Amino acid sequence: MKIERDLKNLPHKTIERLSQYRRALLICHEQGQTHIYSHEIAKIQHITAVQVRRDLMLIGYSGTLRKGYNVKDLIDLIGEIIDSKRGINVAIIGIGNLGRALINYFVGKRSHLEIVASFDINPDKIGNIMSGVPCYSIDELADKIHELHIEVAIMTVPADFATQTADALVAAGIKGILNYTPKPVNVPETIYLEEYDMITSLEKVAFYVKIQDLN
């Protein structure tokens, strides 16, 4: 099968959905399902079958009309598209409530993404190991990023420290940042930045609850 791909031009939303499709497909695979139709994936993801087919066409995959998509082939292909073959090392900056929750949740979930270090300013936390992840002093950030080949950082520091943390990460050569603090940060265009604010998501849900009352 010849697969035409231009990874750099894949829409951000498609990348997000491919990750969600794979999560759903892995569950189907575990349950012994070998094939799946676009409308079944669509139903799980609460989107249209047209959207699923469009995303999968973008990565060069088409199923057979009769049997649908081969679950295992699709899992493998999505992996080829979104995973890095060499694996990517990740660090968590700020090992408080959220940092700890993320480590406990994520460790072992994806073989190609490994949380290899955490950083904090609190001397009581520095030197500890949580779920196999060591905590270093923030003063060691640049050295460890280099030494441990860390490419992605998750920021879970208090909002007041968001800017200085992002600046330190950029100076240390980080390539991607997931910012969980409510403070937006500025980074050079060459660094991929994703910002997630739980309150925005919750306000969005609350808005749609509010407008139900208007009907």
Give me the residues that bind ligand NAD (CB under 6 A), please.
Answer: 93-99, 119-122, 125, 138, 156-159, 161, 165, 180-182, 198
Shortest gap between Cβ of 130 and ligand NAD (angstroms)? 11
Instruction: Pick the closer one to ligand NAD by CB: 55 or 120.
Output: 120
Shortest gap between Cβ of 203 and ligand NAD (angstroms)? 13
Instruction: Pick the closer one to ligand NAD by CB: 21 or 119.
Output: 119
Shortest gap between Cβ of 185 and ligand NAD (angstroms)? 11
Q: If we measure between CA atoms, which residue out of 159, 147, 191, 146 comes closest to residue 94?
A: 159
Q: If we measure between CA atoms, which residue out of 102, 115, 107, 110 comes closest to residue 75?
A: 110
Instruction: Pick the closer one to ligand NAD by CB: 68 or 99.
Output: 99
Q: Within the chain, where are the H helices?
A: 12-30, 38-45, 49-58, 71-82, 97-106, 141-147, 162-171, 198-212
Contact call for residues 177 and 153 (beta carbons, < 8 A): yes
Shortest gap between Cβ of 161 and ligand NAD (angstroms)? 4
